[in-house]
């Protein structure tokens, strides 16, 4: 056990080292020579080796990273990390439109004073949530999907700009700081120079360098990357008695707690001052020490933010105002196609190498045939290429004056690729769709993983345990090429895969075996036919009764099914016209996949025929799935949102915005008893 004087010495060393860290990494103003810093650090390390109890989580020595991880655990955010709406109009109109929306939502008249905003930079890095409890950093997580992110605490501890302990005597009991991990341009260049000298891999650009470092499974690798951090907001907060009343004051308070906040920010009043900030930053954008792709405007007063609230997953009180992406001239040397996971053939321009937005670009997406036609892109053309969103290169326009003579021929995907370049299945373009698609959904290697995951999903064949990582292994090792191959897997094969013990393999085999007994509706849905969702699959199964009747149906026969129009009918015809798909279906049936069949029937004229219902909240006794099945059995349709066309809303406890909208529109609202009474009236 360390003596009191040792404890005092260690605490003093921690404070002194962190003070020097803050001065060096945040203020860019070193206070001691490197040799003195190293001496202090080694002294603390030696004490912690001799007295292991001194190695607290907030010690500077913990920044070097721990052992490699197998994967990042998921963490649910206490307060969702919502995204901010992007204003793509890069002119002054974008700022004026935002100000006008805010004033309207706040009910302000033209004569009322201007709204006070806080304007700041939109950093180009990785969004992070830092959780401090009683001033100590205890967890860090990525944004993820906004609700759930990845726990990256060990890697975040390696970022010297992030304090492991907040400054001040009485920090809040809980303080979640949200901000951006980024990489300065000079740090990026120095790191790549060192890597080139050592013969190691270099980073593509600062943004990927930041995101890739934080999501590195080995914290020791992350510790070698020169990362920085800026805070821009808060998540969960508890025990902050004197919490500021404005966003700007909140950032000031975070600075006093030792959290880095960018100095490039300003309180603005009204649209004109927002525009001035946007223009000022735009003029200095290239001279900033880090990459940005726009600025962010936030209503400054917290009470006004609360009054404005949210729309879907975005706050009404904030917007990201983008800048035009950087552009350069280059030449289209070829146009090729790539087949995506959903079967879409995406045209890609192969370009003469050009340096755009900090990277050398050799490829640019042309999106689809409509875009090629609209821009009239041809091989040999000189084009303006842009990194859209500073990430994905795209061809903006053709410089017609530089087109070769004679003019090259127009590019047509269907003419150049009548069959899929990956699997040889027919390629089609359905009416009303921009994409050209491969029809070999069950067979095409490019679509293999997507097809398998959908086939095994809960609402399809419901093969529990057949998830992303396992499908990756099965496909990459050549063990599964189509869904039919799933039913040929054995215990030895599965048990030999990574992270698959014999018990897990046996459980998966049981799930595969159980999935053989299914329903026609589930099987149709599992095939992953374009535009055929779960409800349409049920309607098709009910109408035709057997798979053979469905596969042989004409477009006219298909359109006799409820809610099946020309596009869905064409999707079905094209899918079943592809021999590769029929071969896989036959193999599935040979493997023992079966379902009850009948002669088929037209949609019953039940009490809910032609009616649309919306379910919201938790019903006392019925699950959402049970209620949905009862509605469909009575001829009704279940929708996901409320509109003027909604006939009934069935509401349980904790019903939210759907109930409020139904009441506003005058839609009939039923509780569970009322819903059951409506269904019972079918019998007279």
Which of the following is catalytic: 74, 104, 122, 538?
A: 122
Reading the block at residue 477, the tokens are 């090792």
| Helix, strand, or coil (residue 312) | coil
| Structural tokens at position 232 | 């821009």
The CA–CA distances, whole Å, from 472 to 57, 145, 510, 511 equal 37, 22, 20, 18
Tokens of 276: 């001035």
Return the SS3 of 612. strand
Q: What H or E segment, with its residue span, contains residue 11?
A: helix 4-21
The secondary structure element, H or E, covering residue 591 is none
Phi and psi at 592, nearest 5°, equal 110, 5
CA gap 441, 445 in Å, rounded: 9
Tokens of 517: 């007994």
Whether residue 483 has a cis bond before it, omega within 30° of 0: no
Neighbours of 127 (CB within 10 A): 20
Say which residue the tokens 């905003």 belong to. 117
* Separation between Cα atoms, residue 146 and residue 601, nearest integer Å: 44
Token pair 């999907």: residue: 145
Quote the DSSP letter at residue 346. E
Give the C-alpha distances (Å, rounded to integers) separating 462 from 6, 517, 519: 60, 11, 11
Asked if 161 contacts 208 with a C-beta cutoff of 8 angstroms, the reply is: no
What 3-state class would DSSP assign to 639? Answer: strand
CA distance 486 to 466: 10
Alpha-carbon 510 to chain mean position: 33
CA distance 634 to 609: 7
Edge-first strand order for the sheet with 174-182 is 136-142, 126-133, 174-182, 228-238
Counting DSSP H helices and E strands in the chain, the numbers are 25, 24
Q: Is 658 a catalytic residue?
A: no
HEC assignment per residue over 572-585: HHHHHHCHHHHHHH
Residue with tokens 């949609």: 603
State both tokens at 503. 């018990």
- State phi, psi for 384 to the nearest 5 degrees: -95, 125
String of b and e for 135-144 (b: at least 16 CB within 10 Å)?
Answer: bebeebbbbb
Please report where in the chains the tokens 């049920």 appear, as a residue. Answer: 538
List the Cα angle 270/275/278 in 5-degree steps. Answer: 130
Q: Cis peptide before 390, with omega less than 30 degrees from 0?
A: no
**CA 554 to chain centroid:** 39
d(Cα 171, Cα 187) in Å, to the nearest integer?
32
Alpha helices in 34-142, H assignment, sequence order: 34-50, 92-105
DSSP line for 382-450:
EEEEEEETTTEEEEEEE-GGG--SSPPPPP-HHHH-SB-TTT--BEE--TT-S-EEES-TTT-GGGHHH
The distance in angstroms from the start CA to the end CA of the chain is 83
Would you please indicate which residues are annotated as catalytic (active-site) residues? Answer: 122
């Amino acid at each position: 056990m360390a003596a009191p004087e040792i404890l005092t010495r260690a605490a003093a060393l921690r404070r002194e080292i962190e003070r020097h860290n803050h001065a060096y990494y945040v203020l860019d103003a070193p206070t001691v020579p490197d040799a003195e810093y190293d001496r202090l650090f080694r002294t603390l390390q030696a004490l912690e080796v001799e007295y292991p109890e001194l190695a607290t989580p907030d010690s500077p020595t913990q920044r070097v990273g721990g052992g490699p991880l197998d994967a990042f655990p998921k963490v649910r955010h206490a307060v969702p990390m919502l995204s901010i709406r992007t204003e793509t109009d890069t002119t002054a109109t974008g700022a004026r439109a935002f100000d006008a929306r805010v004033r309207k939502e706040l009910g302000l008249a033209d004569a009322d004073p201007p709204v006070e905003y806080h304007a700041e930079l939109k950093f180009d890095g990785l969004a992070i949530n830092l959780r401090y409890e009683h001033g100590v950093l205890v967890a860090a997580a990525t944004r993820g999907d906004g609700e759930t992110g990845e726990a990256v605490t060990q890697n975040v501890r390696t970022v010297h700009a992030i304090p492991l302990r907040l400054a001040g005597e009485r920090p809040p009991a809980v303080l979640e700081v949200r901000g951006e991990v980024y990489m300065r341009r000079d740090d990026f260049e120095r790191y790549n120079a060192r890597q080139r000298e050592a013969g190691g891999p270099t980073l593509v650009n600062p943004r990927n360098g930041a995101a890739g470092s934080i999501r590195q499974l080995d914290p020791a690798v992350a510790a070698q990357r020169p990362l920085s951090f800026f805070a821009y907001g808060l998540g969960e907060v508890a025990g902050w008695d004197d919490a500021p009343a404005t966003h700007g004051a909140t950032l000031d308070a975070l600075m006093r707690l030792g959290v880095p906040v960018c100095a490039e920010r300003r309180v603005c009043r009204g649209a004109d001052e927002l525009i001035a900030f946007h223009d000022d930053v735009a003029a200095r954008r290239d001279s900033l020490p880090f990459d940005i792709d726009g600025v962010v405007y936030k209503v400054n007063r917290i009470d006004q933010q609360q009054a404005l609230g949210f729309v879907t997953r975005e706050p009404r009180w904030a917007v990201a105002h983008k800048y035009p992406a950087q552009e350069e001239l280059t030449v289209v040397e070829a146009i090729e196609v790539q087949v995506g996971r959903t079967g879409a053939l995406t045209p890609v321009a192969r370009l003469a190498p050009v340096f755009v937005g900090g990277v050398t670009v050799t490829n640019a997406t042309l999106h689809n045939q409509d875009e090629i036609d609209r821009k009239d892109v041809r091989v040999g053309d000189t084009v303006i290429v842009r990194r859209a969103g500073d990430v994905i290169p795209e061809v903006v326009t053709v410089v017609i004056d530089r087109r070769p003579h004679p003019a090259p021929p127009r590019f047509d995907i269907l003419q150049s690729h009548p069959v899929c370049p990956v699997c040889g299945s027919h390629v089609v373009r359905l009416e009303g769709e921009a994409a050209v698609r491969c029809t070999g959904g069950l067979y095409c290697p490019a679509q293999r993983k997507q097809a398998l995951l959908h086939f095994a999903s809960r609402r399809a064949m419901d093969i529990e345990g057949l998830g992303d990582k396992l499908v990756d292994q099965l496909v990459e090792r050549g063990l599964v090429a189509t869904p039919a191959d799933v039913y040929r897997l054995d215990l030895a094969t599965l048990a030999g895969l990574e992270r698959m013990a014999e018990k897990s393999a046996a459980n998966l085999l049981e799930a595969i075996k159980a999935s053989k007994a299914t329903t026609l509706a589930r099987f149709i849905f599992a095939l992953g036919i374009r535009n055929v969702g779960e409800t349409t699959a049920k309607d098709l199964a009910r109408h035709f009764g057997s798979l053979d009747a469905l596969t042989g149906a004409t477009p006219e026969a298909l359109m006799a099914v409820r809610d099946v129009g020309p596009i869905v009918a064409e999707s079905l015809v094209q899918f079943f016209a592809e021999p590769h798909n029929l071969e896989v279906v036959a193999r599935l049936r040979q493997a023992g996949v079966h379902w009850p069949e009948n002669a088929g029937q037209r949609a019953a004229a039940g009490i809910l025929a032609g009616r649309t219902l919306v379910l919201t909240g938790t019903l006392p006794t019925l699950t959402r799935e049970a209620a949905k099945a009862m509605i469909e059995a009575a001829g009704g349709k279940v929708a996901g949102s409320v509109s003027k066309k909604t006939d009934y809303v069935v509401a349980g406890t904790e019903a939210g915005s759907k109930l409020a909208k139904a009441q506003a529109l005058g839609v009939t609202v039923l509780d569970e008893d009322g819903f059951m009474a409506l269904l019972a009236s079918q019998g007279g």
